[in-house]
Each structure stands twice: as C-alpha cells, then as structure tokens.
C-alpha cells in the first residue's frame, strides 16, 4: 500500500470529487482515479459510490478514512523527523490561519520567515479558527496560528503569541455613538452584528453577557470580521471587534464593567513532534 494512493483516497473523500481532488494534489483526474482504483483493488473493496457526479464514501471507505489519515501523517512525520535530525529548516510546513490574522498579523512574519528560510515550502490554509483547531487535532495541519480557544482542549497545546483586546464598536450615526460610556443593558437594547455563535470570539462576549443577565438582539452574524466592521460603519448595528480594526469609519464605545480580550497564537498537537520549520514559524511570529 503506497502513501500516494492513500493521499488520493483522502483527497477525494475530503472534496467529494475526483476533479477537485486532482486539483488539490496537482494531478490529472485520470491519475487520481487510477490511484483510487489501485487501492480498491489491493483492499478488495469499493471505497466510493459514484452516482452521476456525486461521490460518497461507502461504509468501507468511511472505516478506512481516519486510519488513512493517520498513516499519511505518520509517514510525513517520519520524513520530517529524519530531516530535522540534521538541524536543517526545510521541507513542507502545512499550517492554518484565519483570514483576520492572515491580513493583520502574519504578513510581516511570513516575509521575515520566507527570507530567512527559503527552503521551506509553505502550505497555508485559510479557515475559521475553530476549524483549524479541529484540523490540528485530526492531523491535517501541523500548526495553526489562530484565535486560541478560551478553554484548553485535551489533545492540543496552546501558545499565546499576541494578546488581542476586543472593543465594542458603533457607526458614527449610531444612537450611542456620542456617549462616553454605556451600560451593557443599554447596549443590548440595540441590534448587534456579531461573529457566528460557534466562534471563540462570540463565546467570549456571550459569557460576559450571561454573567450580567442580559439578552442580546442579534440582527446579523458572519465569521468575517472585516465584513462586520463594514456593517458597523454603515449603521446596521454594534459589534465586538479586535482593536486593530478601529479606524475613522467607526467609534469605540466603552461599556461599563466590561473589558474583553482574546488570545491569538499557535496550536499544535501534544503527541506530534513539531518540525524545525514549525518551531521557527512560531519563533518568528513571537518576534514580530
């Protein structure tokens, strides 16, 4: 059983498509189909049901998927271990980050890293912080630079890189915009545009609101913080956003007794050896 055939199988399972899997692996679709067919022949079972353009895992395929991921990750870790014994910083670093961090925190660090370690091939995947943490836990990512979970997950290691103060923001024409300070109950009387309810940032706000015994009116939700900033600026509601997004288009609105922040940093798996490239990426981010 070859790692390449397992990688083709996992890619098709992840994308539910042979053509999209081929694109992700930089292969032709016939090459991916051939590798999956070889794996099915070797195992003597069908791994996918192919009905028209729809591709779905069979029961055998679903049973194989987590084991295939582990085998692929073990092989990659073995290669990385042999490489890292030499002390060299090279090879492929698969990491995830959020769109906000990718826009506002990582650019300088990435520029410095690529200049210092040109032999590292960076594979950066943009996704929600919560999804990135799950991908590190499943072994799909070696490293994530994201908003850290408020609670410590059992299998993950969290390392703070940046403290990220959160600020209540309103548009210049908002009824509360001229106030020097408001009570949380007053703020809650006005509609909010907030991050999705499954996000770590939303959880920080919801915890503060529950403690105060207040209920929020949520007019809109999206996980894209830059979109929320735009909605606030156009007067569609208030929001809780990173202080890095404060500009002339919005106003900071202090809330009595409420000072909130989140932590941004590195997420790795406790049982996975971090490559030299991963170690250096965290070190470079901390230096910025």
pLDDT by residue, tens only, the chain of 288 residues: 788 899 999 999 988 999 888 888 888 999 999 999 999 999 999 999 987 778 899 999 999 999 998 888 888 777 766 666 667 888 889 999 999 999 999 999 999 999 999 999 999 999 999 999 999 988 889 999 999 999 999 999 999 999 999 999 999 999 999 999 999 999 999 999 999 999 999 999 999 999 999 999 999 999 999 999 999 999 999 999 999 999 999 999 999 999 999 999 999 999 888 889 999 999 999 998
Alpha-carbon dihedral sign for residues 166, 170, 172, 176: negative
> What sign for the dihedral angle of Cα 226, 227, 229, 233?
positive
Let me know how long the chain is.
288
Does a structural domain hold residue 271? no
Structural domain boundaries enclosing 169: 164-262
Q: Look at residues 255, 270, 164 and name the one whose alpha carbon lies nearest to residue 211.
A: 255
Q: How many CB atoms lie within 10 A of CB 260?
A: 16
- 144: in domain: no
Say how many domains are in the chain: 2
In a domain, 215, yes or no: yes
Asked if residue 17 belongs to a domain, the reply is yes
Which letter, b or e, does each residue of 44-66 get, where b requires 16 or more Cβ atoms within 10 Å of its Cβ?
eeebbeeeeeebebeeebeebbe
What are the tokens at 242?
């990173």
CATH (domain of 240):
3.40.190.290
Residue 11 lies in a domain: yes
* DSSP letter assigned to residue 238: B
Look at residue 202 and give its three-state secondary structure: helix
Domain boundary among 62, 86, 110: 86
- Per-residue b/e over 117-149, b at no fewer than 16 CB within 10 Å? beebeeeeeebbbbbbbbbbbebbbbbbbbbbb
The reply to whether 80 falls in a domain is: yes
Q: Tell me the CATH number at 21.
A: 1.10.10.10
**115 lies in a domain?**
no
Which residues in 99-255 belong to E strands, given as ranges? 120-126, 143-147, 156-170, 192-194, 218-221, 239-242, 251-252
Q: From residue 120, how far is each of 22, 27, 42, 89, 104 by CA, in Å? A: 23, 22, 35, 7, 22
In-domain check, residue 27: yes
Where a domain ends, among 32, 59, 86? 86
Closest alpha carbon to 13 in 64, 57, 67, 45 = 57
**Could you say which of 30, 57, 86 is where a domain stops?**
86
Contact 153, 130 (CB under 8 A): no
């Amino acid at each position: 059983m070859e790692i390449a055939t397992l990688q083709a199988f996992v890619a098709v399972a992840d994308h539910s498509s042979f053509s999209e899997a081929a694109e992700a692996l930089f292969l032709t679709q016939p090459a991916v189909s051939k590798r999956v067919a070889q794996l099915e022949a070797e195992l003597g079972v069908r791994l996918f049901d192919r009905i028209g353009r729809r591709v779905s895992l069979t029961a055998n395929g679903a049973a194989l998927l987590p084991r295939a991921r582990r085998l692929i990750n073990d092989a990659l870790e073995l290669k990385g271990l042999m490489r890292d014994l030499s002390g060299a910083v090279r090879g492929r670093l698969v990491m995830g980050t959020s769109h906000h961090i990718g826009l506002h925190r990582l650019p300088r660090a990435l520029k410095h890293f690529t200049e210092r370690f040109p032999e590292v091939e960076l594979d950066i995947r943009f996704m929600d912080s919560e999804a990135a943490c799950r991908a590190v836990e499943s072994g799909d990512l070696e490293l994530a630079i994201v908003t850290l979970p408020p609670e410590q997950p059992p299998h993950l290691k969290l390392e703070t890189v940046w403290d990220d103060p959160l600020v209540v923001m309103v548009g210049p024409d908002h009824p509360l915009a001229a106030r020097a300070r408001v009570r949380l109950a007053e703020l809650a009387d006005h509609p909010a545009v907030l991050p999705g309810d499954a996000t770590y940032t939303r959880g920080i706000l919801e915890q503060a609101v529950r403690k105060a015994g207040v209920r929020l009116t949520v007019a809109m939700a999206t996980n894209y913080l830059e979109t929320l900033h735009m909605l606030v600026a156009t007067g569609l509601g208030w929001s809780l956003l990173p202080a890095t997004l404060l500009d002339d288009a919005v106003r900071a609105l202090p809330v009595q007794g409420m000072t909130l922040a989140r932590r941004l940093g590195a997420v790795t798996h406790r049982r996975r050896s971090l490559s030299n490239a991963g170690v250096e990426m965290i070190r470079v981010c901390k230096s910025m």
